[in-house]
Chain A
């Protein structure tokens, strides 16, 4: 097949870098509120019927939302195999914890209300809490570690080796900057979940969600700004030390990389990327104001803008780096040297161009069918409600 020659390799790489962002943002925008709702469950809903209302606001959609995560994993595997190979094995135990949380969550949704026992239901409520809060925290921790660089090196066979014993690898992830990033991510998704509840639930649940959301929204803003300052002054960045062939083969060892004073030199080179953190902060501030004023739909939209800005700011700051290595900078994975082959990127792009619009259309249709608030009556009268 020579069709793939129509789009050059470097352009395809940039497109797939952007698509990676689209998938991560799609995941955070959709499954993000499911996780936020899970984390909020024990706090905004006290009685069984309140909890069922909360669960049923996401009941029909969480399954589809979670596919953003699964597709994200599949797309990283297909488009950025070295990233998939290095990061998932490097964050091994953290990935296991995330997996456990994500496995328990679907089951908790489905099974919680299938028995009357209060103990049964309370146990699953806490499972939903953990299934939401733990991944939300750990995704942020992972981003915090990626920004600092991960202790791996590639052998000439491109086999990834990691420094440190297993506990050092796991607890090493929980360094102060990464924890701050985790708190930002958790607070941001909790706020998003609160915005969703304010939109889909009513009465006391919505009111409580708004008051929690106003606080977690503030935490997000403060944490995001602090992390930005820390990144500017306390964390080294990475840069290429040799010429890079943007069309070259995907072998990270073909290029030289060195540490720089700060990632923020990217903003000097490409000032327009400052738009991302600015939009993110605007979204976060408007979300908090919306929570206080009791606005529903608009607050959810602002919250989406906040998440969009925050995630894009990380990607744009690091570009073209994707996963830098702290112990052997040369092994760092970048857009130009850790993608799939030209042909695979092209085939996958064609598939994405065909199917992604279909997914967006039918997902929108499902949300339209389910439009409107979930009431206590909806939950008690329907035989299929969770």
Chain B
């Protein structure tokens, strides 16, 4: 079997990133849910809410540990495996990663220790603030990471510098407020909230089925269903926002997801289902919904969305233009300050297409020597394989809509049916626990696989982004990660299940004391409300 450094590097990155993202969404969502629970505790003073905070907080902690640990791999893998990528775009891409550490991760990691160890050392409000800081920190973390990733999808605010052979930042503002990044951030964070809501809902449903910890489980379901419903709506709406921004920034990805081979007259129809055939360049047995794609993609009835064939033809033009840029670049590199202004202006006119010339480096050392056939081949390469994208996207969207329905159902039962849930619904809630993870992983697959053959869309091809490593290097680390991550996963799941089975620590005395105080207050009608201390009797 032949191994290829690029493919092995991709495999390792995909594996470690997707593994990392098994833990991230739960961290994002559970942090907020726990903070909400603790807020209710501080406001009402009811001990059950503190027990809920501690119980879900404990599960948060088990998950958080691996999330942090596997995140370290992500931070260092760019340098280890994607050395040329790191050189070529580090000037832009590194900044959000460093800002993530400065602004977000420090906050989250410094206070998470106090969240667990500070219960007896801080006032109630003090501890609540700590919990919210952890939640805010983890969400800010996601913001910066998605600004970095958003830039790979839509590289704005940067230009190529021939002296340093890399992209350099021209506007930090544009990088930060990149529309793709902002839409991705809210979409991803909401997906994390849905994941945590489904998790809390499922675990609580299991307690109700077993008749254990009923008080805690009912309240948890109420919180999870209301928060989950709002988040599920936001995931779908902001997924749509991503679709809208993809229309002008990531047109090939959009066309591939749609299996849209030819440009259609506006407004384009949406292919609900079908079988994309890469060879024949058509989608067989397609079921169309008229107008829908045009509406999602352009929010108009008149603007056209480009199809795959048109985009490949466009790539070919850009490759030819990129070769001109490459030729000028070589002259500039040779003559440096002595370069004639003509060459400089030629370069500037074509430098936006330089990345397209690099696509040829898979076939020929110097893109200027490329044959016609190689140019055609490289332009065809700009289309990723369609069917995995087509299907992954549809499963993700289907799951997204079903989360709205599930959360709405539990919200309705919780609010209007006296928190009474039928058996089948509770079992359903337990069984669907894995589904948000599936949706999230498919979402990342669509985003990253859909951007191929690029690491940075239109700027740097994946095949050029790797480090100078040997196959042995990669096989060793790949095997290492596989063994190591599998062991961690088994250990993590074992502990999660153990602590879920064990259930929350219920301080019966404390709950009873609180209930007695509460009833006393209701009897005496002293009007001081739940915050008042009961006078010692």
By the criterion CB–CB under 8 Å, are B95 and A344 in contact?
Answer: yes
Interface residues of A in 75-90 (CB under 8 A from B): 75-79, 81-82, 84-89
Q: Scan A91-118; emit 1 where CB is below 8 A from any B CB, else 0.
A: 0110110011011111101110011000
- Chain B nearest CB from A254 CB (Å) reads 8
Task: Please give me the residue from chain B that is nearest to A114 by CB atom.
Answer: B495
Q: Does B278 contact A (CB under 8 A)?
A: no
Q: Does B117 contact A (CB under 8 A)?
A: yes
For chain A, the bracket of interface size reads 35 or more
A-side residues, CB < 8 A to B, are 1, 59-64, 66-67, 69-71, 73-79, 81-82, 84-89, 92-93, 95-96, 99-100, 102-107, 109-111, 114-115, 156-162, 165-167, 249-251, 254, 340-341, 343-344, 347-348, 351-352, 355-356, 359, 362-363, 366, 369-370, 382-385
Task: Please give me the residue from chain B that is nearest to A100 by CB atom.
Answer: B484
Q: Which of B71, B83, B172, B472 has the most C-beta atoms of chain A within 10 angstroms of its own C-beta?
A: B83
Task: Please give me the residue from chain A that is nearest to B122 by CB atom.
Answer: A369
Kindly list 13 other residue pairs between chains A and B, CB separation below 8 angstroms, not including A66-B109, A88-B86, A115-B498.
A79-B94, A82-B87, A89-B469, A92-B473, A96-B80, A96-B480, A106-B69, A107-B488, A160-B84, A250-B164, A363-B106, A384-B119, A385-B117
By the criterion CB–CB under 8 Å, are A102 and B103 in contact?
Answer: no
Q: List 9 A-B contacts (CB under 8 A).
A: A64-B110, A69-B72, A85-B79, A85-B83, A96-B80, A107-B66, A107-B491, A363-B106, A370-B117
Q: Does B431 contact A (CB under 8 A)?
A: no
By the criterion CB–CB under 8 Å, are B119 and A355 in contact?
Answer: no
State in angstroms the CA–CA spacing of A382 and B117 once bound together.
8
- Option from A60, A106, A107, A115 in Cβ contact (under 8 Å) with B116: A60
- Chain B nearest CB from A352 CB (Å) reads 7
Interface residues of B in 431-487 (CB under 8 A from A): 467-470, 472-473, 476-477, 480, 484
By the criterion CB–CB under 8 Å, are B114 and A369 in contact?
Answer: yes
Q: Give the top 10 A-B pairs by smallest Cβ distance, nearest first.
A: A81-B90, A88-B79, A60-B113, A78-B94, A77-B94, A71-B101, A64-B110, A89-B467, A74-B98, A249-B163
A71-B90 contact in complex given A63-B109, A92-B469, A341-B168, C-beta closer than 8 Å: no
State in angstroms the CA–CA spacing of A79 and B101 once bound together.
14
Contacts of B119 in A (CB 8 A): 384
Majority SS of interface residues in chain A? Answer: helix
Q: Which of B75, B117, B499 has the most C-beta atoms of chain A within 10 angstroms of its own C-beta?
A: B117
Q: Does B371 contact A (CB under 8 A)?
A: no
Contacts of A86 in B (CB 8 A): 83
- Option from B113, B469, B498, B499 in Cβ contact (under 8 Å) with A59: B113
Q: Does B97 contact A (CB under 8 A)?
A: yes
By the criterion CB–CB under 8 Å, are A103 and B90 in contact?
Answer: no
Task: Please give me the residue from chain B that is nearest to A250 by CB atom.
Answer: B164
B-side residues, CB < 8 A to A, are 54, 61-62, 64-66, 68-73, 75-76, 78-81, 83-84, 86-87, 90-95, 97-103, 105-107, 109-114, 116-122, 161, 163-166, 168-173, 333, 467-470, 472-473, 476-477, 480, 484, 488, 491-492, 495, 498-499, 505
By the criterion CB–CB under 8 Å, are A366 and B472 in contact?
Answer: no
- Option from B64, B97, B103 in Cβ contact (under 8 Å) with A77: B97
A102-B69 contact in complex given A60-B116, A344-B169, C-beta closer than 8 Å: yes
- Option from A106, A352, A369 in Cβ contact (under 8 Å) with B102: A352
By the criterion CB–CB under 8 Å, are B72 and A158 in contact?
Answer: no
By the criterion CB–CB under 8 Å, are A89 and B495 in contact?
Answer: no
Contacts of A77 in B (CB 8 A): 78-79, 86, 90, 93-94, 97-98
Task: Please give me the residue from chain B that is nearest to A383 by CB atom.
Answer: B505
Contacts of A348 in B (CB 8 A): 95, 98-99
State in angstroms the CA–CA spacing of A78 and B169 once bound together.
11
Task: Please give me the residue from chain B that is nearest to A83 by CB atom.
Answer: B79
By the criterion CB–CB under 8 Å, are B484 and A103 in contact?
Answer: yes
State in angstroms the CA–CA spacing of A158 and B100 once bound together.
27
By the criterion CB–CB under 8 Å, are B87 and A81 in contact?
Answer: yes
- Chain B nearest CB from A261 CB (Å) reads 31
Contacts of B117 in A (CB 8 A): 59-60, 370, 382, 384-385
By the criterion CB–CB under 8 Å, are B491 and A111 in contact?
Answer: yes
By the criterion CB–CB under 8 Å, are A355 and B102 in contact?
Answer: yes
Contacts of A61 in B (CB 8 A): 113
- Option from A60, A89, A254, A344 in Cβ contact (under 8 Å) with B468: A89
A251-B165 contact in complex given A63-B110, A77-B93, C-beta closer than 8 Å: yes
- Option from B78, B86, B118, B333 in Cβ contact (under 8 Å) with A369: B118
